[in-house]
Amino acid sequence: MGISILRGSLALGHNGCMPELPEVAGLIGFLQTNLLGAMLTRMQVLSSAALKTADPSYADLQGLRLAAVTRHGKFVDMSLTALGSPDLHGAAAAAADTEAYGAAVAETEAHASTAADTEAHADWTPGPLHLIFHLAKAGWVRYFETPSNAVLHPGKGPIAARLTFDQDSAVRSLDLTEAGTRKSLAVYVVRSPSDVPGIAALGPDPLSADFGVPELAGILAAGSGQLKGLLRNQRVIAGIGNAYSDEILHAARLSPFAIARSLDEPAVRALYDAIGNVLGAAVKSAEGKPASALKDTKRASMRVHGRTGQACPVCGDEVREVSFADTSLQYCPTCQTGGKILADRRTSKFLK
């Protein structure tokens, strides 16, 4: 009984389906391509537990246009704004493509932020609202170019929220979905991304230009725990989860249990390079893919994660696993631990 529950939860970790930085980046590109400039005509919340904020109301988003889609760690940030400002309206109408439209919106945002007395502009566009979501373990999106008219029933099925857009008079819809029974998909409607506690607490983005070897060295020196836990901690570094931390440690040839502050200089450099290479390659392969293909792309790219018992593609050794109560990690002994097999809770229990 206990084992089947354990295996059930492990399956989530094993197949590597939880979206991490590269899949979120790919998803953002997809949303930009398909929905930038579209008007959100309707938002339906099917899972009230998923919606974490009450003010502003999600109804306030209706009638606004999607001005930008960005990423904060693993959070997707859809910025929506009205077209009330004469500047923006003219610019948007004249904009032949969505890129110019985005630039026009950005410019108007800059205007709005410098206008201290918004009351002086009765018809001034209110600042943009942000629809932000975190897909958690089993969340994802479904995009429809020809949405169905089937009636949605709150609390039933995998759809947590449905967004309906008008894109040049064509109807498009985007469902935020979550499989499984442990619901942790989170949706926020805020005036500023920093109003989302998980975003306010995020550590640096590992792909940002400011994240260099010295920054990583500082993080490692301040860290008290093991590398695996540190890499997954969103407050320490943003965007890396269970799958890519396995892949990064394998590429860096470091044990998941190595103590962060004990790394010497070459090891810090190797870890830094592995973070950039693994995430960079994954972001590249996610680029231009439809949302529906991103999870398979991720799974296919894994060298050790989710590959227990298979041969390491670098050295041919057998990929091993360490299991925990609700997760597991994979590693290659030859590449990462000098051939040492790490103690596993389940196997050591069975051996007794």
Binding stretches for Zn ion (CB under 5 A): 312, 314-315, 317, 332, 334-335
* Amino acid making up residue 180: G
Judged by beta carbon, residue 155 or residue 316, the one nearer Zn ion is 316
Judged by beta carbon, residue 195 or residue 317, the one nearer Zn ion is 317
Judged by beta carbon, residue 219 or residue 312, the one nearer Zn ion is 312
Judged by beta carbon, residue 35 or residue 249, the one nearer Zn ion is 249
The runs of H, that is alpha helices, within 80-170 are 86-94, 98-114
Token pair in block for residue 284: 């590249």
* Amino acid making up residue 58: Y
Judged by beta carbon, residue 164 or residue 330, the one nearer Zn ion is 330
CB of 314 to Zn ion, least distance (A): 4
Token pair in block for residue 167: 């894109």
Residue 69's closest CA among 38, 100, 29, 99?
29
Cβ-in-10-Å burial (0-12, 13-18, 19+) of 208 comes to exposed
CB of 166 to Zn ion, least distance (A): 52
Residue 116, φ and ψ in degrees, nearest 5: -70, -40
CB of 312 to Zn ion, least distance (A): 3
C-alpha 161/C-alpha 133 separation (Å) is 11
C-alpha 293/C-alpha 29 separation (Å) is 13
CB of 310 to Zn ion, least distance (A): 11
141 near 25, Cβ under 8 Å?
Answer: no
CB of 303 to Zn ion, least distance (A): 9
51: helix, strand or coil? strand
Residues 6+ apart with CB under 8 A from 217: 268
Q: At which residue do the structure tokens 């597991």 appear?
A: 328
Judged by beta carbon, residue 219 or residue 332, the one nearer Zn ion is 332
CB of 153 to Zn ion, least distance (A): 49
Q: Which residue is nearest to Zn ion (CB)?
A: 312
CB of 309 to Zn ion, least distance (A): 13
Judged by beta carbon, residue 35 or residue 251, the one nearer Zn ion is 251
CB of 341 to Zn ion, least distance (A): 13
Judged by beta carbon, residue 278 or residue 332, the one nearer Zn ion is 332
Residue 36: how many other CB atoms lie within 10 Å? 20
Judged by beta carbon, residue 137 or residue 307, the one nearer Zn ion is 307
CB of 315 to Zn ion, least distance (A): 3
List C-alpha distances in Å: 316 to 311, 313, 319, 337, 344: 5, 6, 9, 15, 21
Pairing of strands 129-134, 186-190: antiparallel
List C-alpha distances in Å: 288 to 11, 30, 32, 94, 294: 28, 7, 11, 27, 10
